[in-house]
Amino acid sequence: MTKLKNARPKGKKHKSENRDRGKIFNRLIEHRLFKTVSYEQYREKVRDVYDGPQGAILAACSMLSLHTALGDRLFKERKFDLRGSRQILDVGSGAGQIARHLLRYAERGAGITCFDLSHEMLRRARQRLKSDRPRFVVADLTRLPFADATFDCVTCGYVLEHVPDPRLGLSELSRVMMPGARMLLLTTEDSFSGAWTSRLWCCRTYNRQELLRTCEELGLEWKKELWFTRMHKVFRAGGICVEIVKQ
């Protein structure tokens, strides 16, 4: 019997089918509000989520999920090196989880600007950080109140997924970044755990390769992919975490 030249091996076919079923299942779990309402309506929903009880427990959730400790390691071990940064922008500062790392590991003379859509989250961040060093600003990621080429370093931790189209946020971040500026970008990936994160926090997820292409179109080069631990790398867990350089 003649075999078809393009026949796919059974093992590979089953794996591909399992991946396809997994993607469909993940899409069923993922929160889809951003696809059904205007951006203004979606933005107000996100603000309500973080102004309310969920925002109040955000810092505790970050600790329980180990994101606080694992994030600290990224800076402490200089996987993302803050040395030499003079003006740092912390995007969507939340309860100050990443800002706390910046206060600990950035050079003493570096300016730190923290912004968030939620005024209530910034109030919580001030209380937790107990520092007069950061500048706190209420702002929308898609309409930043900063001049072009203001910052040489940006940290954006789990914020981009609250923008329906990544270009809306990334283009604004690129605008306020100096040429050669670096960004630490962490965002929710289109995986099973990412889908549940989306459901809990009213956000979307991103496909790694699609996000890479979007960054390249905007002149934002993925310098290296980062992983919290070796186990995260092996199991492709922890979401998308990359160091990006503006060309």
What the block records as the tokens of 19 is 């991946």
Cβ(113)–Cβ(134) below 8 Å: yes
3 in any annotated domain:
no
Domain of residue 205, CATH code? 3.40.50.150
12 in any annotated domain:
no
Q: Quickly tell me which residue has 């107000």 as its tokens.
A: 44
In the chain, what's the furthest Cα-to-Cα distance?
78
On the question of pLDDT at 3 being above 50, the answer is no
98 in any annotated domain:
yes
On the question of pLDDT at 170 being above 60, the answer is yes
Q: Nearest-5° angle of CA 31, CA 33, CA 38?
A: 155
Alpha helices, H only, the chain: 10-29, 33-36, 39-51, 53-56, 58-64, 67-76, 97-105, 119-129, 166-176, 192-201, 208-217, 230-234
7 in any annotated domain:
no
On the question of pLDDT at 151 being above 80, the answer is yes
Report pLDDT digits (tens) over 116-131: 999 999 999 999 999 9
Report pLDDT digits (tens) over 174-215: 999 999 999 999 999 999 999 999 999 999 999 999 999 999
What the block records as the tokens of 99 is 């800002």
50 in any annotated domain:
yes
136 in any annotated domain:
yes
101 in any annotated domain:
yes
Report pLDDT digits (tens) over 5-31: 444 455 555 444 445 555 655 766 788
Residues spanned by the domain of 176 = 32-246
Report the pLDDT value the prediction gives residue 28, as an integer from 0 to 100.
67
Tell me how many domains the chain contains.
1
Cβ(178)–Cβ(149) below 8 Å: yes
| pTM, entire model | 0.89
Report the pLDDT value the prediction gives residue 24, as an integer from 0 to 100.
58
212 in any annotated domain:
yes
